[in-house]
Amino acid sequence: MKTSLSHSKVKAGDELPGLDIPLTRTLIVATAIATRDYQEVHHDPGLAVERGSKDIIMNILTTNSFVGRYITDWAGPDALIRSVKVRLGAPNYPGDTMKMTGSVTAMEGKVATIAIRGANSLGDHVNATVEVELS
Amino acid sequence: MAITREGMTVSQTQQETDADKKAFYEQLQGFVGLQIGPPQPAPDEVNIPMIRHLVEAVGDENPIYLDEAAAKASRHGEVVAPPTMLQAWVMHGITPRSNEGDGPYEQMNRLLFSKGFTSVVATNCEQVYDRYVKPGDRLSMTTTIDSISEEKTTGLGTGHFVTTRQDYWDADGNRVGSMLFRIIRFRPAAKSKPKPPRPAPATTHDNSWWFDALKDGTLLIQRCKGCGELRNPPHPMCASCRSMEWDSIEAKGTGSIHSYVVTHYPVVPSFDYPLPILLVDLDEGVRMVMNPIDATPEDLQIGRKVTIEVHKCDPDLSLPFARLAK
């Protein structure tokens, strides 16, 4: 089983490994439905265009899920996420790629504060701040 | 007052005084702190199938969400749901929700609609977890209106930020997490006007024949009648032999990118930006400036082969465009 990152190995300024998320249409639809979000703008291209969007877009619950995944991909299964605060920007449309990057902005005891950016070709889709207790 | 074609009383909104805005803001503040409706129960207890659907879809391989042995070895001691999934447990689902209630949220929205703040975009979501939830937990959610901002103008338009607070509770009445969810309810910025036509090229006696041929869909290259050298753009005298006699040949329409720039600024309203501009080496040996077609700046590469197509930009102008070869 994957080992977890010890707080003793982490310091402010550390960079997290990057993660590229290819934004397929299947991903956007599957994640919307898996979060019980049936708003048409997340699965119906025709209605999405009618409502002024270029195409279907990723829903916010999924953005949150990717932020959570990004943290535990790095910190391991023993990481305890305490809070996730996201600011939303450019939509995630199918065909694009969201490039996730992050860095440790503060360490207090075992709790790391991480700043995360998920950028697509239009700009920043998400800027997140996560507090996570490391093992 | 005049109603514009957009259906919005523009003059009304412009004449709205600061005192009007302050009064409206005060009226909105009356909703702050009110709970929206009764607690919403989650339709199902926290369960493995829903966790599986989501973690598989986002490619989350953290074993504590599905693997009992791994979860047991972790600080949680048992399988838990991803904390960021909190909101999903109480999602309403596919059945349309009625908008016709008369609770504080609907009343607040009606008040905002009455001032033209009809569009909505979510801007922030802040979740704090008291504990990770686990299969078997029965959750419910309560929502209160947390804050409503003064009138603000953003890139989207002018409106008010509305923040609601969702608290999530377990069956014992203990809070498991909470969420601040901020949207902006706004009056959309005036619709952008249709794009003006592309600026017309400066045509003269010496080059109008070349543009005229493009109107018929033909891309020509000027040829010196004295020495046979090809030249572009069209001009009256051969730079090699100084002959002023010339004719033209039809270009094959193939070439490669000699160089290119991607323009971001200044923005001319006729074009979409970022705007790539190519210098193309035609296989005949002359160079021509043109825009690519169906290509993003990332697709461009010096040396990349192109085929050239003539397209109508408007009734009086046709130009060559480069399509990147596969």
Local confidence pLDDT in tens for the 135 residues of chain A: 468 899 999 999 999 999 999 999 999 999 999 999 999 999 999 998 887 789 999 999 999 999 999 999 999 999 999 999 999 999 999 999 999 999 999 999 999 999 999 999 999 999 999 999 999
Can you give the pLDDT at residue A52?
Answer: 79
**Chain B positions in Cβ-Cβ contact with residue A31 (cut-off 8 Å):** 54, 57-58
Can you give the pLDDT at residue B187?
Answer: 86
Can you give the pLDDT at residue B11?
Answer: 40
Query: Residues B264-312: pLDDT tens digits?
Result: 888 888 888 889 999 999 999 999 999 999 888 888 999 999 999 999 9
Can you give the pLDDT at residue B196?
Answer: 86
Write the Ramachandran bin of B127: left for phi over 0, alpha for psi from -120 to 50, otherwise beta. beta
If you average pLDDT over residues B61-86, what whole number do you get? Answer: 96
The Cα B53–Cα B58 span in angstroms is: 9
Q: Shortest Cα distance from A29 to chain B (angstroms)? A: 9
Residue A1 lies in a domain: no
Can you give the pLDDT at residue B101?
Answer: 72
Residue pair B166/B141 in contact by the 8 Å Cβ criterion:
yes
The secondary structure of residue B35, as a DSSP letter, is B
Burial string for A60-95 (b: 16+ CB within 10 Å, else e) reads bbbbbbbbbbbbbbbbbbbbbbbbbbbebbbbbbbe
Residue A26 lies in a domain: yes
In the predicted structure, residue B6 carries a pLDDT above the cut 50: no
| Domain with A14 in it | 7-133
A29 to chain B, any CB pair closer than 8 A? The answer is: no
Residue A2 lies in a domain: no
Residue pair B105/B181 in contact by the 8 Å Cβ criterion:
no
Residue A43 lies in a domain: yes
**Chain A positions in Cβ-Cβ contact with residue B87 (cut-off 8 Å):** 35, 61, 64
Residue A102 lies in a domain: yes
Residue A22 lies in a domain: yes
**pLDDT grade for B10, boundaries at 50, 70 and 90:** very low
Report the domain count for chain A: 1
Model ipTM over 0.90: yes
**pLDDT grade for B4, boundaries at 50, 70 and 90:** very low
In the predicted structure, residue B155 carries a pLDDT above the cut 60: yes
CATH code assigned to B10-40+98-188: 3.10.129.10
Q: Which two tokens stand for residue A82?
A: 């305490």
In the predicted structure, residue B5 carries a pLDDT above the cut 70: no
Query: Residues B184-227: pLDDT tens digits?
Result: 999 877 665 677 889 989 999 999 999 999 999 999 999 999 99
Among partner residues A37, A66, A80, which is closest to B58 by beta-carbon distance?
A66
Q: What is the CATH number of the domain that holds A54?
A: 3.10.129.10
A8 to chain B, any CB pair closer than 8 A? The answer is: no
Structure-model confidence comparison of residues B94 and B12, the more confident one = B94
